[in-house]
A and B are shown apart, each in its own frame.
Chain A
């Protein structure tokens, strides 16, 4: 945090100002993220050169041909990264390739891959252009390549590493090409690159501001060595640097051929016109929406170290061709927890919703969000400051995605012109195991399972959501073959991709279901798992138009056993599910525990069980409107229990033949409707009874309480324990949470004193 004191200002003469500027230029300590670049998500104005190129005439057919050539080139580069990438994320498609204008606006992204990058990589390119282009010790030359990962300089999160190279003609930069891969391991305080345990920004691992690592086509060995030395997986670091360079160089070859064919002017004009066309089309589409405001609140239940509630507020207002997204009311940053996100990362997930769920037909350009104004208070957890840890920034940024994806159903419902379906909330959590340690081959590694990509889809207005279909950030990502992974890492998924019964968002159309995973390591001197997920006490996604959201998800563990020994002795005991293992406790001597899903690196001994489940998509519409036959079919397929069929969907059937009882169902549903009318209270009366002036006393809460206030409520901790503060964000004290082990010790000490008093023991202590 930087304290700012307002001294009485005194205006300077032009000469004095020049001296001050000169002094500041000469004595800059270091160049951090530039707020002028980082707060701006709009496209730049046309450059003089772009003006000149466009003035020479635009042939729409030629522009279209250039776009298609570029799309082909980018897809080729994408496939190279996917096929050759060493990072698990690359193999599953968690990457992108893109081409940019000279100013850094994304013109086109590969068809597959992570769309969110179209709202993020203009930041580092603008930084390079502003600070390194004319810097004598850096400069930009043909064949140069810049690497970057720090989200403070513009990234989804710090696991993603980019290779950014200029396209130059006659000494002029006319475009940029880049490849970005979710590399995973980055030297953070825990393996895998997105630590839930980071408490300072220095726990987040590599903090690469954009710097040149490739000089005129030659990789700088000294810098590569520094990077390899800074991470747990030096092979991965080197291999994927080369993969990205190879992919970008291949794209550049295609770009060169296109330029040779059409000329520089037509090429530059095509890039610029594409960006401008998208911006104009977005304005037109906003104009077609009804004027008004849609408000969507989300509550997250974890810092990944302890359970709290922190709010993500999002109000989308449309007026004419203007759209405003207002995040005020969102909870404050927590300065020693990993869940904070820079605003640029949240914006990238806004873009993910816009280009994947609003207008998926548009070219993936920076300009798709240009016409949208975003209002946000710095130092909230969705707009964190420079000093906040951001190891698990996806916690806030994925809420950004959900805010726009969910609001869209209401914004577009009445629109006759639709470019996508009305869809209930997509699952939005990272329910997967991260892992790290020494492999069976003696390599030190750290990364994650592809089950992250098995997010279930939300129900549609006319169809059930898809089970475990794709992550919100990448429609074409793969959930991978676990057997392939087992060649490289010393653990097995004893249960993989088996759907968990009742794990769906109930509704007229049900949200997609998620599956469970049970892992256990073996044959390694050091191995451990982590989880980085919230949503164990408060559902992560909600329903749409009367449907319900997902349930909540525990982390379940059985420690102190070796399941492999048990199964080798008696293979018939290989019948595992979270439900069976935790309820029946079949392994003698095991310690069976549940916890929330923020687990920091936990050393796993051979054969200890770690279990979790993927989430579920939100349901759509009233459960009583669900086709009863679909309910009975779900029971027959063991997707839902008899209890859910009868109690939630109010369907009667014969449990032995699975034949629907039509009259019985009508009667059941009629009873439920009568009950609703009896128990439902008129809104005003309900609000009088339900609403409280502040959150429940013992609930650590962060964010506005209600929506008609400019103040935030926060639980802060001082020497007397938790205190509640209500203040505008500008007056909010720094929020740091106590170490949960200290709290536990204090709790146990208090209990000891209580027992001593009860039993009359006289114990003297010194402090």
Chain B
């Protein structure tokens, strides 16, 4: 369903595509199975001009903006982020009709695990979770 999430149509569970961690009922909100961290946006979008001298520095204002980081509790992959005002409830960003999803795939008569594609030509091959090619190293 996303880069890091799949739905097991047999068990109706949200699973991590990296480590198979179970995030919970696929009829519900996968975020309930994540670990969440309230990140000060200045740590990610660091100032380019001096915050001692200026109010606007290329960094978001933490009194306006927080970054919620959602981690997989199994492999610590950051599966989602959300930019919200301080204290705003996280968004339930996806809710799927599992019965309908199952019926859709049964009608297609293909295996969703092999049918998903991400781009044209060789780019499809590049998008895998296999380790990258051996890099130059010392």
- B88/A705 in contact, CB under 8 A: yes
Interface residues as binary, B76-104 with A (CB distance below 8 Å gives 1, 0 otherwise) = 11111111111111111111110011001
Q: State the Cβ distance, B121 to closest chain A Cβ, in Å.
A: 10
Task: State which residues 1-36 of B face A: CB under 8 Å.
Answer: 1-4, 31-36
Residues on the B chain within 8 Å of A543, using CB: 81
- A552/B59 in contact, CB under 8 A: yes
Residues on the A chain within 8 Å of B127, using CB: 461-462
Candidates B35, B44, B124; contact of A681 at CB < 8 Å: B35
Task: Give the secondary structure class of B's interface.
Answer: loop
Residues on the B chain within 8 Å of A677, using CB: 35, 71, 73, 76
- A691/B137 in contact, CB under 8 A: no
Task: State which residues 47-96 of B face A: CB under 8 Å.
Answer: 48-50, 53-61, 63-65, 67-71, 73, 75-96
Q: Is the C-beta of A9 less than 8 angstroms from some C-beta in chain B?
A: no
- A551/B36 in contact, CB under 8 A: no
Chain A interface, number of residues (Cβ within 8 angstroms): 106
Q: State the Cβ distance, B31 to closest chain A Cβ, in Å.
A: 6
- A539/B83 in contact, CB under 8 A: yes
- B87/A695 in contact, CB under 8 A: yes
Interface residues as binary, A627-652 with B (CB distance below 8 Å gives 1, 0 otherwise) = 11100000000000101100110000
Query: Closest A-chain residue to B104, C-beta based?
Result: A290
Chain B interface, number of residues (Cβ within 8 angstroms): 81
Q: Is the C-beta of A706 less than 8 angstroms from some C-beta in chain B?
A: yes
Residues on the A chain within 8 Å of B75, using CB: 673
Q: State the Cβ distance, A759 to closest chain B Cβ, in Å.
A: 29
Candidates B48, B78, B90, B116; contact of A579 at CB < 8 Å: B48
- B3/A460 in contact, CB under 8 A: no
- A707/B58 in contact, CB under 8 A: no
Candidates B34, B38, B67; contact of A690 at CB < 8 Å: B38
- A462/B119 in contact, CB under 8 A: yes
Q: Is the C-beta of A414 less than 8 angstroms from some C-beta in chain B?
A: yes
- B77/A546 in contact, CB under 8 A: yes
Candidates B56, B67, B136, B138; contact of A552 at CB < 8 Å: B56
Q: Is the C-beta of A556 less than 8 angstroms from some C-beta in chain B?
A: yes
- A554/B88 in contact, CB under 8 A: no
A695 to B64, CA, bound (A): 10
Query: Closest A-chain residue to B83, C-beta based?
Result: A542
Q: Is the C-beta of A592 less than 8 angstroms from some C-beta in chain B?
A: yes
- B56/A676 in contact, CB under 8 A: no
Q: State the Cβ distance, B56 to closest chain A Cβ, in Å.
A: 3
- B56/A555 in contact, CB under 8 A: yes
A79 to B17, CA, bound (A): 48
- A683/B135 in contact, CB under 8 A: no
- A294/B136 in contact, CB under 8 A: no
A529 to B117, CA, bound (A): 47
Interface residues as binary, A430-451 with B (CB distance below 8 Å gives 1, 0 otherwise) = 0000000000000000000000
A543 to B123, CA, bound (A): 21
A549 to B84, CA, bound (A): 12
Query: Closest B-chain residue to A550, C-beta based?
Result: B45
Candidates B53, B68, B77, B94; contact of A622 at CB < 8 Å: B77
Q: State the Cβ distance, B62 to closest chain A Cβ, in Å.
A: 9
- B88/A691 in contact, CB under 8 A: yes
Q: State the Cβ distance, B50 to closest chain A Cβ, in Å.
A: 5
Query: Hey, which bits of chain A sit against chain B, CB under 8 A?
Result: 288, 290-297, 299, 301, 307, 309, 319, 409-410, 413-414, 416, 418, 421-422, 460-463, 500-503, 506, 508, 536-539, 542-556, 578-579, 582-583, 592-596, 613, 620-625, 627-629, 641, 643-644, 647-648, 654, 659-663, 672-674, 676-677, 679-684, 686-687, 690-692, 694-696, 699, 701, 705-708
Shortest 4 CB-CB contacts between residues of A and residues of B = A680-B35, A554-B56, A692-B87, A551-B45
12 contacts between A and B (CB under 8 A): A290-B101, A294-B93, A410-B93, A461-B127, A538-B60, A544-B3, A554-B54, A621-B4, A676-B78, A677-B73, A683-B32, A683-B34
